[in-house]
Amino acid sequence: MPRKRRLWLPQYYYHIVCRGNRRDPLFMDHRDFTAFQLILDDVFEKYPFETASYCLMTNHFHLQIRSQEQSISKLMALINRRYANYYNNRYRLTGHVFEKRFYDQIITDVKGMLETSKYIHLNPVKAQMVHQPTEYHWSSYNFYKSSSRPPAYMNLESILSYYNPPVVSQKSHYCHFVESPDQKKVISNKN
């Protein structure tokens, strides 16, 4: 039976999750995490896309991603194929690296954008790998927390635009939203 064709709406972000085969680790050490980020850089150069947030965990990864030029399916096929080739070559393995087709959820509203980003950035905290999202090196959270320059494929404005300027204030409001466990108000006082 053929697979159901995925819906691609280029104006929307998607929450993507990919897991290692049998939930095995996808990233064994810092070289694997770095290799994945380099693959994102390389794919971005040929097929531009935007990420609002990402988190690379041990046995899976999350991307909050939008592509206006290529379908999400094609983009993820390129990223996952490149990483699978790297992984199998490095560890002298053959076969599947990823468990199955990637999970995808279209994000169609402000609340969805902010809640998805918060969920992604808090993933290492919920997994009890760190106490604060700032402590986890392999996510995009610190680009929101500091003034460090994000990679070209990161679009911080896609999240920060929901808060009142200036950028320092936008970042502060967003980080408060992420780090406050009882934060109910999704958007600051921007109209």
Q: How far apart are the first and last CA of the chain?
A: 48
Closest CA to 171 of 151, 149, 141, 131: 141
Mean pLDDT in each 10-residue stretch from start to end of the chain (191 residues)? 74 97 94 98 97 98 96 96 97 93 95 98 97 97 94 97 95 96 52 37
Closest CA to 85 of 117, 132, 22, 42: 42
Question: Is residue 98 within 8 Å of 11, Cβ to Cβ?
Answer: no
The continuous run of DSSP H or E covering 72 comes out as helix 72-91
Question: Is residue 9 within 8 Å of 105, Cβ to Cβ?
Answer: no
The continuous run of DSSP H or E covering 92 comes out as none
pLDDT for the residue numbered 9: 87
- Give per-residue pLDDT as tens, 52-93: 999 999 999 999 999 999 999 999 999 999 999 999 999 999
CB atoms closer than 10 angstroms to residue 58? 18
Q: Indicate the DSSP class of residue 154.
A: B
pLDDT for the residue numbered 188: 45
- Quick check: bond before 166 cis, omega within 30? yes
State whether the Cα torsion 36-137-154-55 is positive or negative.
positive
Closest CA to 53 of 109, 101, 108, 123: 123
Query: Whole-prediction pTM value?
Result: 0.91
pLDDT for the residue numbered 190: 46
The rounded distance, in Å, linking the Cα atoms of 148 and 26 is 26
What domains, with CATH codes, occur in the chain? 13-179 (3.30.70.1290)
